Amino acid sequence: MHERSVLGPADLDDTTLTSMVADLLSAEPDTVTLVSSTAEEFPYDLDSITTAGRYVVSGEALVGRERAAYELFVKVVHSWARSPFFAHVPDEMKEVAEASVPWRTEPLAYRSDLGERLPDGLAMPRALGVFDLDEKSAAVWLEMVAVVPRAWDDALSTRAAYLLGRLSGSPHVAELARVGQHPFTMADYVFGRLETQVVPILHDDQIWRHPLVAAAFPDGLRDRLRAAAAELPAYLGEVMALPHLAAHGDACPNNLLTTADPDAFTLIDFGFWQPMPAGADLSQLLIGDVQIGKARAGDLAARDDAHVREYVRGLRDEGCDIPEPAVRRAHALHMLMMSGLSAVPVELLDRPPSAALEAQVADRAAIATFCLDRVDETSGQVSSRPG
């Protein structure tokens, strides 16, 4: 039985699928017969502007005379111009907005040998096939990762920080830092989303009068955010002059899968893989789950200090000698620009009141305060040098 209609244009002919199943099962294609195949949507509760769908294709195959089960993960990526969220982009900005999000990076990463270059302790799913569907979409067929859920405690997160340092410091990984062939820099983000969306929000007095915002974001925090926004040109110039390294781009716990090896992670979601300011991956590791209400803020400063120390240790183990103050400053500026300035939760303000919502908004205020504090603390501690 074969039922894969849910895949739509991402479906393959049986001959191609049989070849990939043979590869997955480490068998010769002419010894494999596809007995059954079923495609189902993979449940996922986080929206992504460049993901059109996630699916699991499973079934049975005959390898010679032996039956074998198989499972493949299929991810369909597309230009975010095809996302429902793109409708909210003003017409005069659509062309620039579409070009700013690198949807092609993930297929290119899986077509490369990046997986063979990752430091010990990090892996990425093996790609069985990557197929262009049209000029604005592609399907990536991957092995399923056997996830072993673990609690994200301090030991796990500091281990991740160390390995992210190894990744950023690796000269072998550095050769593929631009595998996505996308020219994105922090300047694109500042002159794009920050100037056109985030800064106007910070100066919208009506938003600050909303009961949820008024309760969590005091006037002093509002004024600090506005003052930081005014410093964006200076901050941008400084961060662009600091060292840049290969970075995953979205190293939140959700994209660091835990497996049977307690000391290892499997990286997924390479859409924002590119050179970034040193330490950039520590931002989402620290606050990614807090931003979406999946974890509480707690002591961000103490956890961040531990992450930076381990990240720098990882850099050193790869022979990278960027001074720790430079890492701290680059990380602080990147985190403020990417997360701190946009911490005001405008996307949550139309939800019905609840204790959980109030807690999430309070944690977003904690993120903003922490980011501002980190930028203040690291000011003047390092001389910029070309990245």
* CATH number, residue 344: 3.90.1200
Whether the predicted pLDDT of 92 surpasses 90: no
**Are residues 176 and 325 located together in one domain of the fold?**
yes
pTM for this model (two decimals): 0.93
Does 362 fall in a domain?
yes
**Are residues 130 and 201 located together in one domain of the fold?**
no
Does 307 fall in a domain?
yes
**Are residues 223 and 319 located together in one domain of the fold?**
yes
Percent residues over pLDDT 90 in the chain: 86
pLDDT band per the 50, 70, 90 thresholds, residue 95: confident
What the block records as the tokens of 186 is 């922090």
Write down the residue that tokens 């300047």 correspond to.
187
Axis-axis angle for helices 300-317, 324-335 (nearest 10) = 130
**Are residues 151 and 206 located together in one domain of the fold?**
yes
- Out of 84, 107, 134, a domain closes at 134
State the total domains in the chain: 2
- Out of 100, 134, 168, a domain closes at 134
**Are residues 293 and 165 located together in one domain of the fold?**
yes
**Are residues 261 and 129 located together in one domain of the fold?**
no
**Are residues 172 and 99 located together in one domain of the fold?**
no
Whether the predicted pLDDT of 387 surpasses 80: no
Does 139 fall in a domain?
no
User: Average pLDDT over the chain, rounded to whole?
Assistant: 94
Whether the predicted pLDDT of 221 surpasses 50: yes
Does 383 fall in a domain?
no
**Are residues 32 and 54 located together in one domain of the fold?**
yes
- Out of 93, 109, 134, a domain closes at 134
**Are residues 156 and 35 located together in one domain of the fold?**
no
Write down the residue that tokens 């609690």 correspond to.
151
Cβ atoms of residues 105 and 272 within 8 Å: yes
**Are residues 92 and 197 located together in one domain of the fold?**
no
Give tens-digit pLDDT for 258-288: 999 999 999 999 999 999 999 999 999 999 9
Give tens-digit pLDDT for 297-348: 999 999 999 999 999 999 999 999 999 999 999 999 999 999 999 999 999 9
**Are residues 222 and 285 located together in one domain of the fold?**
yes
Domain holding 246, by residue range, is 147-378
Cβ atoms of residues 44 and 56 within 8 Å: no
Does 234 fall in a domain?
yes
SS3 track for 308-350: HHHHHHHHHHCCCCCCHHHHHHHHHHHHHHHHHCCCCCHHHCC
Does 169 fall in a domain?
yes
**Are residues 15 and 89 located together in one domain of the fold?**
yes
Cβ atoms of residues 70 and 23 within 8 Å: no
Q: Give phi and psi for 56, each to the nearest 5.
A: -120, 125
